[in-house]
Amino acid sequence: MGEWILFGISALLLVTGLFLMLSAVIGQYRFQYVLNRMHAASMGDSMGLGLVLLSLCVGNADGWLIAKYLLVVLFVWLTSPTAGHLIARLELATDSQYQDEMEMIEK
Domain range enclosing 93: 2-106
pLDDT of residue 29: 87
Widest CA span in the chain: 69
Q: What is the mean pLDDT of each run of 10 residues along the chain (107 residues)?
A: 87 93 89 81 85 89 88 88 81 72 67
Number of independent structural domains in the chain:
1
**Angle (deg, nearest 10), helices 34-43 and 63-94:** 170
pLDDT of residue 92: 76
Asked if residue 50 lies in contact with residue 77, where contact means CB atoms within 8 angstroms, the answer is: yes
